[in-house]
């Protein structure tokens, strides 16, 4: 476990990454020494950064609620020293939906900025002082804290709107491109621009001692590359179905095998996900994750039927490979059982899909033959 759950909002766990305390230490040190305010400065720093993460959480909740509105499940929001991430089960390919989800985060910050501005007017807080905050002479006071948060909030919205895919602005950019271009091509352009912005950001960070900026630049660069690869893979899988890629020769378990049997099968075959059938009928699926969990907590003579999963929906021979890939990612599985008329025919695995992808690149003709057969 690398993160700690704080609370849950609409089914979404808000979690702190284990490295999170580092940013509070950094803030205490930075504000304590830089302003020469000592302990009071350190307390100010911790308060400011904590509030800042409240803003980040609200920003991520903005994305999350928009995603849920379109039926996209949101697993959790993780807060780490370089910011927050809302982990969505998938990203809608409908450009309009991606646009709304991406813009919803910064929109939350703009609303907060408006509310804070209203509050400042109402209570006579001089936001002009926030300029002093920017130059580091804000002092240690409640209004300085207010100013700091006000500025940071706007900065957060604008920074996220940079066209640095996969940051919000980059997603907005991709969705706008995807309204006119093919999705894979739109992603390629957005990812290239994203990597360009990341390189500039990284260089700027390096020469100005912006450690966090360099981290964020690396994060953007690798994120753009990973997402581009995923979209390409999916694009080239379109049109293929399970029957062209699945493995028919797999070990199947009976519900009355015990865990020791499963370990033996596993060592013998190298297989780590097992369909479970009773007679001819498919009844469940024992995933690697579930098996490992069971081996740590249950006795060796425990029946497969006591630990197998019954909630994994099997695929059929005609299921789209693209859909299989999406489900494997969303449900964090390595394989799915292939079932026709209640009978399990085999498994479709990530390996199978990778092989199909490779073959579709080097010998597309060999696959279209299978397709028409």
| CB closer to Zn ion out of 143 and 160 | 160
* In the complex, minimum distance from the CB of residue 269 to Zn ion, in angstroms, rounded to a whole number: 44
| CB closer to Zn ion out of 168 and 228 | 168
Q: Is 239 left (phi over 0), alpha (psi -120 to 50) or beta?
A: left
- Judged by CB under 5 A, the stretch of 2-10, 103-111, 170-178, 206-214 that binds Zn ion is 103-111
- Judged by CB under 5 A, the stretch of 4-12, 167-175, 264-272, 331-339 that binds Zn ion is 167-175
Q: Is 124 helix (H, G, I), strand (E, B) or coil?
A: coil
| CB closer to Zn ion out of 58 and 295 | 58
* In the complex, minimum distance from the CB of residue 83 to Zn ion, in angstroms, rounded to a whole number: 8
What residues pair up with 14 in beta bridges, in sequence order?
7, 77
* In the complex, minimum distance from the CB of residue 106 to Zn ion, in angstroms, rounded to a whole number: 6
Within 13 Å of residue 355, how many CA atoms lie on the same side as its CB? 11
CA gap 222, 116 in Å, rounded:
35
CA gap 182, 178 in Å, rounded:
6
**Phi (first) and psi of residue 273, to 5 degrees:** -125, 130
Asked if 168 is part of the footprint of Zn ion (rule: CB under 5 A), the reply reads yes
Asked if 275 is part of the footprint of Zn ion (rule: CB under 5 A), the reply reads no
CA gap 37, 284 in Å, rounded:
63
Give residue number: closest CB to Zn ion: 105
* In the complex, minimum distance from the CB of residue 87 to Zn ion, in angstroms, rounded to a whole number: 13
Q: Is 275 helix (H, G, I), strand (E, B) or coil?
A: strand
- Given a contact cutoff of 8 angstroms between Cβ atoms, the answer to whether 84 and 78 are in contact is yes
| CB closer to Zn ion out of 213 and 321 | 213
Q: Which of 160, 271, 325, 352 binds Zn ion (CB under 5 A)?
A: 160
Q: Is 285 left (phi over 0), alpha (psi -120 to 50) or beta?
A: beta
CA gap 127, 133 in Å, rounded:
10
* In the complex, minimum distance from the CB of residue 176 to Zn ion, in angstroms, rounded to a whole number: 17
Q: Which of 83, 95, 105, 346 binds Zn ion (CB under 5 A)?
A: 105
Q: What is the radius of gyration, based on Cα positions, of the chain? A: 26
* In the complex, minimum distance from the CB of residue 339 to Zn ion, in angstroms, rounded to a whole number: 39
- Judged by CB under 5 A, the stretch of 17-25, 74-82, 165-173, 265-273 that binds Zn ion is 165-173
- Judged by CB under 5 A, the stretch of 74-82, 166-174, 194-202, 227-235 that binds Zn ion is 166-174
CA gap 104, 98 in Å, rounded:
10
- Which residues sit at the interface with Zn ion, rule CB under 5 A? 105, 160, 168
């Amino acid at each position: 476990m690398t993160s700690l759950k704080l609370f849950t909002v609409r089914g979404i766990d808000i979690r702190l990454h284990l490295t999170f305390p580092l940013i509070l230490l950094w803030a205490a040190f930075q504000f304590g020494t830089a302003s020469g305010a000592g302990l009071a400065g350190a307390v100010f720093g911790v308060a400011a950064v904590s509030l800042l993460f409240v803003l980040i959480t609200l920003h991520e909740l903005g994305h999350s609620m928009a995603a849920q509105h379109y039926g996209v499940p949101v697993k959790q929001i993780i807060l780490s020293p370089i910011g927050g991430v809302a982990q969505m089960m998938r990203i809608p390919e409908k450009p309009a939906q991606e646009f709304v989800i991406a813009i919803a985060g910064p929109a939350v910050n703009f609303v907060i900025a408006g509310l804070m501005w209203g509050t400042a007017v109402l209570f006579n807080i001089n936001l002009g002082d926030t300029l002093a905050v920017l130059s580091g002479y804000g002092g240690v006071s409640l209004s300085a804290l207010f100013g700091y948060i006000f500025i940071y909030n706007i900065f957060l919205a604008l920074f996220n709107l940079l066209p640095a895919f996969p940051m919000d602005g980059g997603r907005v950019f991709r969705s706008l491109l995807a309204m006119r271009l093919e999705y894979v091509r739109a992603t390629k352009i957005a990812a290239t621009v994203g990597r360009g912005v990341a390189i500039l950001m990284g260089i700027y960070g390096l020469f100005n001692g912006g450690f966090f900026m360099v981290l964020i630049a690396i994060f953007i660069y690798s994120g753009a590359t990973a997402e581009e690869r995923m979209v390409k893979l999916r694009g080239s899988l379109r049109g293929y179905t399970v029957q062209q890629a699945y493995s028919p020769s797999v070990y199947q378990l009976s519900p009355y095998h015990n865990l020791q049997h499963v370990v033996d099968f596993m060592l013998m075959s190298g297989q780590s996900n097992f369909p479970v059938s009773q007679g001819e009928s498919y009844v469940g699926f024992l995933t690697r994750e579930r098996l490992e969990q069971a081996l740590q907590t249950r006795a060796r003579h425990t029946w497969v039927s006591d630990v197998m999963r019954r909630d994994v929906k099997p695929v059929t021979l005609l299921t789209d490979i693209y859909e299989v890939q999406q489900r494997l990612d969303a449900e964090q599985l390595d394989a799915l059982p292939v079932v026709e008329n209640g009978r399990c025919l085999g498994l479709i695995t990530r390996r199978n899909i990778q092989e199909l992808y490779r073959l579709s690149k080097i010998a597309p003709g060999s696959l279209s033959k299978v397709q028409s057969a």
